[in-house]
Amino acid sequence: MGAGHEPLLNNFGYTTVEDGAPLDEPVEEVTPEKEASATVFSSQINLTNTILGAGMLALPHAFSVGGYSLGAIFLLIAGIGGGYGLHLLGVCAHSMGHRNTSYGGVADATVPSCSGIISAAVAIKCFGVATSYLIVIGDQFPKVMEAQGVTGMASSREFWIILYHLAICTPLACLPKLDMLKFTSSIALCAGAYLIILVILFAYVPELEDTVPCKKDDLPQVFLPAALGSRDVDPCKEDPIAWTGKTNFLSVMSIFIFSYTCHQNIFTIHNELKINTVSNINQVVIRTVATAVTVYTGVAVSGYILFGPAVKGDILTLYPSDQSAAGKAFTGLRVAIAFFVGLSYPLQSHPCRQSLMHLVQLCLGKPPGAIWHWGLTAGILAGSLCIALAVTSLGMVLAVVGATASTTLCYILPGIFYCKRFEADGWTRKRISAAGMFCLGCLIVPVCLTAIFIYHASE
pLDDT, residue 382, reads 95
- Concatenated DSSP letters for 59-82? HHHHHHHH-HHHHHHHHHHHHHHH
**Ordered structural domains, the chain, with CATH:** 40-458 (1.10.4160)
The Cα–Cα gap between 78 and 57 comes to: 17
Nearest CA among 323, 72, 308, 42 for reference residue 181: 42
Residues of the chain with pLDDT under 70: 1-35, 54, 177-186, 188, 213-238, 393-397, 459
Closest by CA to 440, choosing from 50, 58, 80, is: 80
CA distance 362 to 353: 14
Contacts of 396 (CB under 8 A, 6+ apart): 452, 456
- Listed residue (287, 291, 257) closest to 410, CA to CA: 257
Separation of alpha carbons 256 and 74, rounded Å: 7
Measured CA to CA, the distance from residue 23 to residue 224 in angstroms comes to 62
- The C-alpha atoms of residue 223 and residue 139 are separated, in whole angstroms, by 19
User: Cα separation of 354 and 14, whole Å?
Assistant: 7
Burial pattern 167-197, b for ≥16 Cβ within 10 A else e, equals ebbbebbbeebbbebbebbeebbebbebbbe
Which parts of 66-224 are beta strand (E)? none
Q: How far is CA 418 from CA 56, 90, 106, 279, 433, in A?
A: 29, 10, 10, 17, 10
- Could you tell me which residues are beta bridge partners of residue 273? 38
**CB under 8 Å to 441, separation ≥6 — which residues?**
407, 408, 410, 411, 412, 415
Q: Which residues pair with 145 in a beta bridge?
A: none
Is residue 274 within 8 A of residue 34, CB to CB? The reply is no
458: which residues sit within 8 A by CB, 6+ positions away? none
| Chain centre to alpha carbon of residue 272 | 20
| Residue type (1 letter), 228 | L
Per-residue confidence (pLDDT) for residue 421, from 0 to 100 = 92
pLDDT of 339 reads: 76
pLDDT of residue 393: 62
What is the amino acid identity at position 225?
Answer: P
Strands, E, within 172-240: which ranges? none
User: Is the distance from CB of 256 to CB of 74 less than 8 angstroms?
Assistant: yes
Question: Distance between CA 324 and CA 213 in Å, rounded?
Answer: 12
Q: How far is CA 445 from CA 62, 250, 261, 403, 437, in A?
A: 18, 11, 15, 6, 13
- Angle subtended at Cα 202 by Cα 201 and Cα 208, rounded to the nearest 5 degrees: 110
